[in-house]
Structure 1
Amino acid sequence: MQFTQTTDLPVYSEVTWRNFVFFSANVQHLLDVRALATQQKLYHHVCSFAALQAQADMDTFLFRDKTFWLAPPDRPAFILTFHFGHYRAVPIFLVRRGYRLCIPVSKDVRAQQEAYYSAHLGASFREQVLFLEAEDPHLFFKLRRHMDQGYHVLCYLDGGTGASVTADANKLTEIPFLNGSIRVRQGIVDMAWLLQKGIHTLIVEMPDEQNGLTICTLDYCDTKWYGDRKFFVNYYIKSIYQDFEDALLQHPEGWEAWLYLHKTMAPGSHESRWTTEQRMVLFKNQGQQLLLDKYTYLSYVL
């Protein structure tokens, strides 16, 4: 049996190469990109853009508004987005326009998020931005109460570095995506239907930082159009991701989630597309040599 060659391994640190091989599995499942050199090139582009947008000063950016049917600040709705492009611009854009936001986040990153908003909006950000723990079993009731108080709910559909697929895998639903499939959370869409609130999916176009950041509407939905809860939730989550595909295929380097999809969304694809050589790649973890099966994400000690 031949394994994927790792002639570039000495160029990378152990941690960077380990991160790359899981990234490689993610893009191979969903983009059907099989050449290691192409995967490496995309990996560098994704990492470079992720670092660039993380350091961007939103105070220096001009926002261009290409949204439509966006609920006004005084009519609470669910606002969804992705970790795509300068995604941190979405809440800043909304706050500047007078929106009050309630944002569910993992408890592992809550302090980090609060520090970020404090740095960009000042100590008074708490008057407009409220964080709730996504793991809270009473989250639905808290969201309902805060929406009654005038808050919009802002949620990143594709999870984040603080999310984990193993904690609540039974709550994930498999949907087709690009050339494969992913497992996604439907809870926020379900809550929107239960509360009969509008859903607005926003995205930041890229690349456009020299001319300002363009916030545009990817999709809008009035949940009152749909009478059947189960049908709506299953249909609409697929629809949102289908709309997202177009932007993603134009600029795959803009999706930060490529770096952690294996932790949050369990990408998959048809096994017949994979040869043994394309599945296996060597990596190290704390000095121990392992073999990763990129199709299953299982690793084996050598």
Structure 2
Amino acid sequence: MDYLERNTASENDVATSWLYALFAANLYRFCPQIDTVSYPDIYHRLVASRYRASDDQLSEVLPVKQEVLAGLTSYIHEIKNRPGIVATFHTGSYRQLSRVMYMQGANVAVVMSSEILAEQGEYLFAQHAKMEDVGALQLIDADAGNCLIKMLVALRDGYHIVVYMDGNHGAAPTKDESDNEEVPFFNCNLLVRKGLAVLSHKRNIPIYPILSSLDDENETLYHSYPTISPDSEEPLEHYTSRVFRTLYGHLQEVISPKPEMWEGWLYVHTMPGRREWSNKRRRYQSYWPCRVGTRYYMMISPRYTCQEIGKLSFLCMRKWKRLTRQMKN
């Protein structure tokens, strides 16, 4: 928090301070090997990446190099005639993917939270309506009770289903963990719903992983990975594990060199790991000073709880953080 807290916080800084605290705690939890000195720079690049993704969505012309676009469209043509689940994550210019797909004539159904649907749905339909000779577009509410039925109907009607695997809506793990899969992710584990893998296995639906990133010249890049195909002879448990280990392995591969590519650092704490659910083990806890306006807090990681503290305690804790960082360096 040192970098952001040098000046007096205004009302506009409140959300930023809290988001940075979540970002820092999440990054430290999963990737403790990254030097905390680099956190402010990574965070600002993450914010810039989010704005870029939004600008790309609004652009009338796809801001992608022709050679990159050619590679992605070639992949789309390969999978066009076999509708399946296009598994992607909130990395890079992820918002353009569905647009590129329907511009190549593929029918696309995008699964998104009700909040994002209300915010962007009207614009996305208007953008699609301006184009000629393109595939159809559907938007499916991930939070609706009939989400799965709508996905099945869309697949039956020849649509590809674009799913953000790391979405923090419509995919909250259940308390009894009966329909969750534990996935290794960097230095921790995640619990994710395994419904999509079960659907793929039972209905023989292929999964097409596509992730967005940036190349060394800061240009949009897309990674198209081999199709994950279900096998009726492979036990469901094995297939489920294979699907999510493969997908989150792709995510880890993309963001390892560029952590700022993934928006999930802002909300990955909503996808708890098994160790946080168990009282049998006591995990190492770290404490982060956090200021929101004129009030001071201590964030406790990995539980992501906050306790209000006095200004003097806040200053002492921040000074201690600086000291330990200097000793580490």
Question: TM-score scaled to structure 1, two decimals?
Answer: 0.83
Counterpart residue number, 2:236: 229
Q: Kindly name which structure, 1 or 2, has the bigger radius of gyration based on alpha carbons.
A: 2
Tell me the distance in 1 between the aligned counterparts of 2:49 and 2:213.
14
Which of 161, 166, 174 is the equivalent residue of 1:158? 166
1:266 partnered with 2:272 = yes
Alpha-carbon separation, structure 2, partners of 1:128 and 1:223: 26
User: Is the Cα–Cα contact under 8 Å of residues 89 and 204 in structure 1 kept in the other structure?
Assistant: no
Equivalent residue runs for 1:179-218 within 5 Å: 179-207=187-215, 213-218=220-225
Q: CA deviation at 1:237?
A: 0.8
8 Å Cα contact 2:94/2:211 also seen in 1: yes
Contact kept? 1:144, 1:195, Cα under 8 Å = no
Deviations 1:118-165 (A, max 9, x none): 3532367997111122123333232222211111111011105xx277
Preserved contact between residue 268 and residue 295 of structure 1 (Cα < 8 Å): no
Letter matched to residue 192 of structure 1 = S
| Rounded Cα–Cα distance in structure 2 between residues aligned with 1:196 and 1:32 | 39
Q: Is the 8 A contact 1:190 1:233 kept in 2?
A: yes
Shift of 1:178: 1.1
Shift in CA distance, 181/87, structure 1 to aligned 2, threshold 3 Å: same
Paired residues, number: 291
* Residue of structure 1 aligned with 2:138, choices 108, 130, 135: 130
SS at match of 1:219: coil
Backbone CA RMSD of aligned residues: 3.1
Name the residue aligned to 1:29. 29
Helix, strand or coil at the partner of 2:92: coil
Is contact 2:22–2:265 with CA below 8 Å preserved after alignment? no
TM-score (norm 2): 0.77
Question: Is the alpha carbon distance of 1:114 and 1:7 closer, same or farther for their aligned partners in structure 2, counting shifts above 3 Å?
Answer: closer
Distance in 2 (alpha carbons) for counterparts of 1:141 and 1:95: 22
Give the unaligned 5+ runs of structure 1. Answer: none
| Residues 105 and 69 of structure 1, relative CA distance in 2, 3 Å threshold | closer
Distance 2:208 2:292 in 1: 42
Q: Is the 8 A contact 1:64 1:215 kept in 2?
A: no
The amino acid across from 1:78 in the alignment is I
Is 1:110 the equivalent of 2:106? no
Q: Deviations over 1:42-76 (max 9, x none)?
A: 11111111112211226242423256586543321
- Label 1:7 to 1:81 Cα distance change in 2 as closer, same or farther (>3 A): closer
Alignment of 1:246-257 (within 5 A): 246-257=253-264
AA matched with 1:143 = M
Q: Is the 8 A contact 1:86 1:204 kept in 2?
A: yes
- Within 2, Cα distance between the matches of 1:75 and 1:260? 33
Question: Structure 2 unaligned runs (5+)?
Answer: 310-329
Shift of the 175–252 alpha-carbon distance from structure 1 to 2, 3 Å rule, reads: same
Q: CA deviation at 1:295?
A: 2.2
Pair 1:165–1:132, CA change in 2 (3 A): closer
Q: Distance in 2 between matches of 1:167 and 1:238?
A: 17
Q: Which residue does the alignment assign to 1:144?
A: 152
Q: Percent identity?
A: 17
Counterpart in the other structure of 1:100: 107
- Structure 1 counterpart of 2:119, one-letter code: Q
Residue in structure 2 matching 1:219, options 209, 216, 226: 226
Give the secondary-structure state (helix, strand or coil) at the position aligned to 2:189.
strand
Report the Cα offset of residue 217 of structure 1: 1.2
CA contact (8 A) 1:202 1:219 kept: no
One of 59, 68, 71 as aligned partner of 2:61? 59
Q: Note the C-alpha offset of 1:36.
A: 3.6
Residues in 1 aligned to 2:150 and 2:185: alpha-carbon distance in whole angstroms: 32
Closer/same/farther in 2, CA of residues 252 and 267 from structure 1, 3 Å limit: farther
Contact 2:109 2:137 in 1 (8 A): yes
